[in-house]
Structure 1
Amino acid sequence: MTSSRNSIRWSTTDKTSESLVSGFTFYFFLYFVIDFFIRFSARFPAYGVIRPTLIEVLILLVLLFSQKDKFKYKMDDPVFKGFFVLVGYIIISIPFVEWPGSVIRTNLDPFVKASVFLFFVALFVDTERRLKVFLFIFVGCQVFRVLEPLYLNVTSGYWGSSTYLSSKEFANRLAGAPADVINPNELGFVIATAVPFLHYLLWPLGWKSKALYLLLMPLLLYALILTMSRGGFIALLVVAFFVFKESKKKFRLIVVGILAAILAFSVMTPVQKERYLSLIDRDAEGGASAEGRIRGMVNEFKLGMTRPIFGHGLGTTPEAKVHKLGSRQASHNLYAEVLIELGVVGFLIFMAFLSKIIKKLFFVRSSFSKLNMDSLDFYARLNKALITLFWMYAVYSINYWGLSQYYWYLFAGLVIAFSNLALKNVSGKSYDSSSVESCHYDSKFRLANKVRNRSY
């Protein structure tokens, strides 16, 4: 009986998988991605008057619901289920948080705008070609966001931000371009996001891809130096660790790493050197601010425990800090932010949501390894990039907020889309994503499964 039920489920999923979202929907989604990251509304004021991002989201939601029968089966994915639990908890807990009015009036909107990326990416990226096109657009936008301010810096002396020194002077730091909204730390985050994709998707290919990789990487790393972002530097170290861990040519990587470090240190100004050295030397310039950041994180966790069950409410971290810590500075720690806003219960739900993402990536990796998939395969390389990116995000979130930011939700949607296509590529049929967890169960009882299958 079990075998026949499984065959029915597989055949149903196979039929559903052939129904793709329309080409117009996908390409309009790509336009939304470009508009979101490149910020046409800031570059063309007349265009910004109509609030294009909001209109684009509404159009995409209409297109999503009009084609909902094409991807109903995808909603059974464990990552989707984890997100639905999180949303359900946020809604149910509103009457019990400290500032429910702030949640309803102002803070639900940013969360919704960020979380739609989960649905758009997971449901609209439904073929290998569309996955590659989306990656090209997404990574290309991140690279453009780095190269634009770097170009302005070289050609016109643009910086975009500065930091206060103990000598009562200001040191310039490279931030996003004038049309962008990212500060130096966020620019460092963008750089660290692009690097894993470039390394795993470009370097293993032909000489043209290698040449592009060798052209872009020095520019990105030089831009990171100019940001003086210690968080971005740590994020890059996380990426470097996983690249080193996966590499079969570790000695060569060590040599390249040493040469890159020497070259990077040689082009730094004294202030930039002091800034990065402050990570390990508290007496260096910037060491006091690093210690202050750590104290701030500790205080944020203490603040979260003042309302440990339901929290203060979604998006109320600045409000809670004003009333209880006397400062409105945004949270610099995602985990503290979640604790402050959602309480311990919400914190555990959010961490469960993240755990489902990495478990899915591990499951795909194990599926590939059992079939002896070569590391040069596109899906195997992308899986390595996504695992690296997950841990980079997890570490960087210690220094960055994100509950109502896009990056975790876009990443989750990308993991869903990638895993569906990767498993389909492995088996020659579209996996029912709800079966991911059951596959682990089946693998533990192989003998019983063989006996049961023979009986039918």
Structure 2
Amino acid sequence: MTIQPWEKSSSLKWPIIVIGVLAISFGAFIGMIVGYSPNVYLPIAAAVGFIVAILTLANLEFGLLAFVFMTYIRLYNIIELHGGPSLQLPFMAFLVLLILIHWVIERHFPEISIKLVVLFSIFGVSTFLSYLYAGNMVDAQDALETFIKGGSVAVIVGLIFTKKEYMRGIVWTLVLVGGILGSVSVFQYLTSSFTNDFWGFGTAVVENIVGGTNDYRLSGSLGDPNLFAMVMVVLVPLALERAFTEKKKILKILAIYALIVIVMTIVFTFSRGGFLSLLVVIGFLVLWKKPPLTYLLIGLVLFILSFSILPPSYTQRMATLTDVFSQDTTEMRNEVSFRGRFSEAGVAWIMFRDHPIIGVGPGNYNSEYMNYSRQLGWDPRVEARGAHNLYLEVASEQGIVGLTIFLFILYSVFAGLVRSSRKFKKLNQPGLADMSIALMIGFAGYCTASIFLHNIFPYYLWMLIGIAFSLEKIADNEIKNPQIGITTPVIDGSLNE
């Protein structure tokens, strides 16, 4: 993959001057950090940040890939964990500044997806209206700010991801994140290094496994095992697509390795939602690739046999999923985790029933939980709780208005990726078509896991939405100009190699 530099223009002196000024300013900032910070890790992080900034100045595509990498691996939070400054907003502002500079120099504003902007704006208006009627304005303001930041992630991705050649880099960046986090997690589990957080990339928490059994569950860089499983599930079809498509052996091996450690990590989180999401992803992959019946039978046998080598507590925990279909609701409520989830879902429904139009306000589910949970009497915990269901969370906090808009956004992602795949096939670009389907399947895994999780880290969701809408926009542009589809090399594992 080749990253093209800025196009030459008659105004070439201006970007050179801007790069020089920004580089000197950033270098002075780094020098101040190195000089005044007692933290030994901070100067290293600052030096790496300086290099990333310079490379981003030289090439905006690199900035996009760095943005995707840092967001998905949660590098910003890890830097803060070690006493460093929050760099997420500064880096986002830096990217916006570069986009504006490109606009001035090239006199051409990026063709961002209008659908993304419109839907984000409408959902933003709905969120703001709900905010005005919130009971706890502090929590509502925090939620509103988080939404704006999350949506900004999608918009920034949309402004930079305007060329089809960038897609392969984005997919490989995500697979690389999965390989890194998966390697740390697998090593951590196999060596029982649970007290070592590996600089924040490999946290583990002691939680209930089944019944009265507690044990370590891997939570990666997110600090929550269920959320960690959810974001790793997204990467399974992307890694598999690269393993099938790449031409170079080293890249194919790397993709296969990433796929293995990603799947193992999902297992080691002991997440039931992650397990079900993985099954959904595997089901979609089977429908997509349509392997021969022999391969399916072999895969089924290997899947069944894998349970014999897994920890007994894992199989016992997954077996509790059948309790959902049990006729004995008392038995379900006696299971620690299920009891809490039933209470949280019941509370969300009551909130929605009492405030059906615009909900109780963004971020107000947690603060209102205790007032409603007393009515049910299912949950003995005296603490604020999350909804543990993204859709119930949106319904309870933003009512039918917010839920309808949100579901339409998700539908638009799936429909858009399917359309993108068909258009790229029509243009004889099967590589991009496969990446579109792989991203759609990964997003399906995320949406499945969201049945069991609320939106604690919205950056993942909005970044995936931004990538999906941008890809559809690129496909539309390719269709409008058939010559591009004819003259441009097919994007597969050997593009620009």
In the other structure, the counterpart of 1:70 is: 108
- Partner SS, residue 266 of structure 1: coil
In the other structure, the counterpart of 2:23 is: none
1:115 to 2:115 alignment: no
Query: Offset at 1:88?
Result: 2.0
Quick check: 57-66 or 230-239, which moved more? 57-66
Match 1:318 to one of 366, 370, 376: 366
Contact (CA 8 Å) 1:185, 1:232: kept in 2 or not? yes
CA–CA distance in structure 2, aligned partners of residues 361 and 206 of structure 1: 24
Query: Offset at 1:409?
Result: 1.2
1:214-266 per-residue CA deviation (whole Å, 9 max, x = no partner) reads: 43333222222221111001111111111111223241442242233134202
Equivalent runs, 1:233-312 vs 2, <5 Å: 233-281=275-323, 289-290=337-338, 292-312=340-360
Quick check: 316-325 or 163-172, which moved more? 163-172
Equivalent runs, 1:184-223 vs 2, <5 Å: 184-206=225-247, 208=249, 209-223=251-265
1:94 to 2:94 alignment: no
CA–CA distance in structure 2, aligned partners of residues 382 and 346 of structure 1: 30
CA–CA distance in structure 2, aligned partners of residues 27 and 79 of structure 1: 23
Match 1:149 to one of 185, 197, 208: 185
| Alpha-carbon spacing, 1:302–1:27, altered in 2? closer, same or farther (3 Å) | same
CA–CA distance in structure 2, aligned partners of residues 248 and 112 of structure 1: 41
Match 2:409 to one of 339, 353, 372: 353
1:266-299 per-residue CA deviation (whole Å, 9 max, x = no partner) reads: 2212211101111124679995523542443233
CA–CA distance in structure 2, aligned partners of residues 355 and 430 of structure 1: 31
In the other structure, the counterpart of 2:95 is: 60
CA–CA distance in structure 2, aligned partners of residues 44 and 51 of structure 1: 7
1:178-216 per-residue CA deviation (whole Å, 9 max, x = no partner) reads: xx2331112211221110101123223337244334433
1:373-401 per-residue CA deviation (whole Å, 9 max, x = no partner) reads: 47xx1111012112212322222221111
* Structure 1, gaps ≥5 residues long: 1-20, 432-456
In the other structure, the counterpart of 1:435 is: none
In structure 1, what residue type is equivalent to 2:96?
Answer: L
Query: Offset at 1:86?
Result: 0.7
Number of equivalenced pairs: 403
In structure 1, what residue type is equivalent to 2:460?
Answer: Y
* Structure 2, gaps ≥5 residues long: 1-55, 195-202, 375-382, 485-497
Match 2:205 to one of 147, 154, 161: 161
CA–CA distance in structure 2, aligned partners of residues 224 and 417 of structure 1: 28
CA–CA distance in structure 2, aligned partners of residues 247 and 285 of structure 1: 40
State the TM-score, normalized to the length of structure 1.
0.78
Query: Offset at 1:58?
Result: 2.4
Contact (CA 8 Å) 1:379, 1:422: kept in 2 or not? no
| Alpha-carbon spacing, 1:42–1:100, altered in 2? closer, same or farther (3 Å) | closer
Query: Offset at 1:128?
Result: 2.8
Match 2:66 to one of 31, 52, 60: 31
In structure 2, what residue type is equivalent to 1:385?
Answer: A
Structure having greater relative contact order (Cα 8 Å, sep ≥ 6): 1
Contact (CA 8 Å) 1:82, 1:353: kept in 2 or not? yes
CA–CA distance in structure 2, aligned partners of residues 171 and 132 of structure 1: 39
Percent pairwise identity: 21
1:390 to 2:443 alignment: yes
In structure 1, what residue type is equivalent to 2:222?
Answer: V
Query: Offset at 1:65?
Result: 4.3
In structure 2, what residue type is equivalent to 1:99?
Answer: N
Query: Offset at 1:70?
Result: 3.4
| Alpha-carbon spacing, 1:366–1:167, altered in 2? closer, same or farther (3 Å) | closer
In the other structure, the counterpart of 1:11 is: none
Quick check: 38-47 or 48-57, which moved more? 38-47
